Amino acid sequence: MGSEAVRNKKVVLKQYVEAGRSPRESDVEVVATETVALAIPEGSPPAILVKNLYLSCDPYMRGRMTKHDTPSYIPDFTPGSVITGLGVSRVVESTHPDFIVGDLIWGITGWEEYTLLVSNLGSFFKIRYTDLPLSYYTGLLGMPGFTAYAGFSQVAQPKKGERVFVSSASGAVGQLVGQLAKRMDCYVVGSAGSDEKVDLLKNKFGFDEAFNYKQETDLDAALKRCLPEGIDIYFENVGGRMLDAVLPNMRAYGRIPVCGMISQLNLEKPDPVHNLFCLLIKQVRMQGFLVSEFYHLYREFEDEVVQLIREGKITYVEDVAEGLENAPAALVGLFSGRNVGKQLVVIARE
């Protein structure tokens, strides 16, 4: 493509989101004035220039929108700079020996049409199954799907026939956790924030039971109704009141893989959890995890889930926003539960 110059529409953070409030669309903006050359600058380290195709909206991005004095496992966004996140891209120029023009990859890229990638190229995965929808690599076959696989199989270490509860169960991670659990003949219950999502859990994803937590005045009673014999595995996605209700309902030697706590992301002070003593008396193991620690298992996961997709044994629901101009609304909507299924943004279909 030589040194052809093109407009590069991008999404930038306008201002930090104060702790204690939800993000607004006005906190980010789409900028369409930048022009970039479709060439890698001479003298730069080995690099690739990519055209971004699909972007993933993920809960961890909320934390990056607020300024933190103590560094986290992933840095905060910078006001005035392009937002970054997981996406699917096509290589249009390369000076790196591991990538050639035309490669389809997924990894951390810019929320923009074209991105020059110089560092951390070892964290990108080449897409091998290009006959499947490329959007799956923002979800089912990407980080969220692999998070479900790693958290459930490696951290929870399930046994056949156990009782499993999944919060935020219709989301990108939860819907796969439930289906993996059913494949082990587990009894699976999920919670979600609307009747439409509850219907999806029971009639599309095969959960044994599900409830709308927004309609439950007593979460403890809801859990006892759906799981009267208790919970062996709680796949934790929300934290707060739900976690507090789950703890007394855990069975002895239960496991709680902590994937996320989305209910706490917009709070200035986290909700207190009163029932932690249950971890001791029931000898429950509660463990947080970062999916990057399991990336050495990614190809094993990919092969297994691709086979299940082709056999019709795994289903998946996506919530698709068309065009980069709709990315701010898609991202912000994630934190109020507006999406149904995996939220992603399409920049270009190829």
pLDDT at 123: 84
Residue 177 inside a domain? The answer is yes
* pLDDT tens readout for residues 141-191: 999 999 999 999 999 999 999 999 999 999 899 999 999 999 999 999 999
pLDDT at 1: 44
Co-location of 54 and 133 in the same domain: yes
Residue 231 inside a domain? The answer is yes
C-alpha to C-alpha distance for 55 and 111, rounded to whole angstroms: 7
* pLDDT tens readout for residues 96-107: 999 999 999 999
Co-location of 163 and 244 in the same domain: yes
* pLDDT tens readout for residues 41-73: 888 888 999 999 999 999 899 989 999 888 888
pLDDT at 308: 95
C-alpha to C-alpha distance for 191 and 66, rounded to whole angstroms: 28
Co-location of 149 and 126 in the same domain: no
Number of structural domains found in the chain:
2
Question: Mean pLDDT over residues 220-236, rounded?
Answer: 97
* pLDDT tens readout for residues 275-323: 999 999 999 999 999 999 999 999 999 999 999 999 999 999 999 999 9
Co-location of 329 and 220 in the same domain: no
> 40 lies in which domain range?
5-139+317-346
Co-location of 233 and 200 in the same domain: yes
Co-location of 165 and 234 in the same domain: yes
- Reported pTM: 0.90
Question: Mean pLDDT over residues 210-218, rounded?
Answer: 96
Co-location of 166 and 284 in the same domain: yes
pLDDT at 113: 95
pLDDT band at 82, cuts 50/70/90? very high
pLDDT at 306: 96
- Residues above pLDDT 70, as percent of the chain: 99
* pLDDT tens readout for residues 90-131: 999 999 999 999 999 999 999 999 999 887 788 899 999 999
Co-location of 71 and 205 in the same domain: no
pLDDT at 177: 97
Average pLDDT value over all residues in the chain = 93
Co-location of 281 and 170 in the same domain: yes
Q: What is the CATH number of the domain that holds 240?
A: 3.40.50.720
pLDDT at 122: 81
* Nearest by Cα to 31 from 322, 321, 327: 327
